[in-house]
Amino acid sequence: MYKTLLFVAAAVAFASAHEDVVEVTRAIAVLNANGISGNVTFTREEDDKIRIGGRIIGMKPGMYGFHIHEKGDLSNGCASALGHFNPNGNDHGHPHDENRHVGDLGNIEFDSTETANLNFLDHLIKLNGRHNIIGRAVVLHSMADDFGRSDHPDSKVTGNAGGRVACGVIGIMDYTLPKANAATTSSASVLMALTFYTFVAALM
Ligand SMILES: *[C@@H]1O[C@H](CO)[C@@H](O)[C@H](O)[C@H]1NC(C)=O
Ligand SMILES: [Cu+2]
Ligand SMILES: [Zn+2]
C-alpha cells in the first residue's frame, strides 16, 4: 500500500514535469545548391510516425540516396554534416530493415521532369526525444542507395550512394508550447510528492 501511494505521488510529479517541454509537430528543410532546389517537410502523424513531404527539383530521372545526417553543421558544405544519424550504433540499411540507421530514408525518385514529389511515412525518425532529427541535416546524394546489400566496402556504412549534391538543415516549423504555468505546476507537484512521502514515511 505504502509503496503504491509513493509510486502514484512520484508519477504525478513526473507527469507534471514532463509537460514542461516544447513538442515539435512539423519541421522543414530547404535545399538550394548545384541547381537543385526544394523543400522537405516532416510532419508528425498518428502513432508518432513522421510523414515526409515536399518537392525537390533539378536531378536527372532516377533514384538517389536520401538521408538524415548527424549534424546541422554546414560550415564546410554538406561534408560537415558528418555521417548518417545513427544514435543506436546500427549498420546502414533499408528504411524497412530492423537494423538500420535512424537517418536511413532510402532513395527518392526524380521523374522525367527532374522532379521528386515526396510523400511517404517513416517510423524511426522523430521530431522529439532520442531519435529527434531537428537541427540535423537532410542530404541528397549523387547515386542510388544500395541499402547495405552490396559488396562495396561502403555499403554497410553509407549505402554507397556517392557524393553529397545538396543538403539543408532541419528546422522547427510547427510546435506546441507547454502551458505558461507548467514550471510552477511541476515544482508544486514535486513539493506535494515530497510532503506526501514524509507523511507516509511517518506512518510506517
Ligand atoms: C519551396 O517553398 C517556397 C516557398 O513556399 C516556394 O516558393 C518554392 O517554389 C518551393 N520549392 C519547390 C521546389 O517546391
Ligand atoms: Cu547520406
Ligand atoms: Zn545509413
37 and 13 co-located in one domain: no
Q: Is 104 a catalytic residue?
A: yes
Secondary element (H or E) of residue 75:
strand 75-78
CATH number, domain containing residue 83: 2.60.40.200
Q: How far apart are CA 123 and CA 28, in angstroms?
A: 18
Residue 67 has pLDDT above 90, yes or no: yes
Return the CA Rg of the chain.
22
Helix, coil or strand: residue 142: coil
191 and 148 co-located in one domain: no
pLDDT score for 187: 56
pTM above 0.85, yes or no: no
Q: How far apart are CA 21 and CA 16, in angstroms?
A: 10
Q: Is 84 a catalytic residue?
A: yes
- For ligand 1, is residue 128 a contact (CB within 6 Å)? no
Average pLDDT rounded to a whole number, residues 78-91: 98
Residue 30 CA to ligand 1 center (angstroms) comes to 9
Higher pLDDT, 203 or 81: 81
* Domain around 8: 2-20+181-203
Provide the pLDDT confidence category of residue 180 given band limits of 50, 70 and 90.
Answer: confident
Quote the cell numbers at residue 127: 521530431
Helix, coil or strand: residue 184: helix
| Phi and psi at residue 85, to the nearest 5° | -65, 115
29 and 16 co-located in one domain: no
* One-letter amino acid for residue 98 of the chain: E
Higher pLDDT, 23 or 179: 23
